[in-house]
């Protein structure tokens, strides 16, 4: 419940801050990454958990670190993306 409530709070803050800071031309966005093929993910999850996650993710794989970089670049460059959360989870819904 702690993780879920913190995640929900960040999502709401993103929307509220985008509205409150618009008069200063400040955009506020948020990324919500899913499971990525990183050392920390491999340490946190065992092999069976990783196999299961891949099988229930529509993209049928973990994300690649360069995909996070691409997404952040998109958010920085796109001035029209504001007050929203960019989900980078391969279509996985937990």
**pLDDT digits 0-9 by tens, 10-65:** 999 999 999 999 999 999 999 999 999 999 999 999 999 999 999 999 999 999 99
Report the distance separating Cα 5 and Cα 7, nearest Å.
Answer: 5
Task: Name the token pair of 88.
Answer: 């980078």
CB atoms within 10 A of CB 42: 12
- CA triple 11-15-16, angle to 5 deg: 115
Q: Which residue has the higher pLDDT, 1 or 38?
A: 38
Q: How far apart are CA 34 and CA 66, in angstroms?
A: 14
**Residue 64 phi, psi (nearest 5):** -100, 140
Query: What 8-state DSSP symbol labels residue 54?
Result: H
């Amino acid at each position: 419940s702690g993780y879920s409530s913190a995640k929900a709070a960040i999502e709401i803050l993103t929307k509220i801050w985008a509205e409150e800071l618009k008069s200063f031309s400040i955009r506020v966005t948020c990324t919500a990454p899913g499971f990525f093929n990183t050392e920390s993910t491999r340490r946190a999850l065992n092999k069976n958990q990783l196999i299961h996650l891949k099988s229930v993710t529509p993209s049928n794989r973990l994300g690649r670190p360069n995909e996070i970089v691409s997404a952040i670049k998109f958010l920085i460059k796109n001035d029209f993306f504001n007050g929203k959360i960019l989900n980078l989870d391969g279509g996985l819904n937990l």
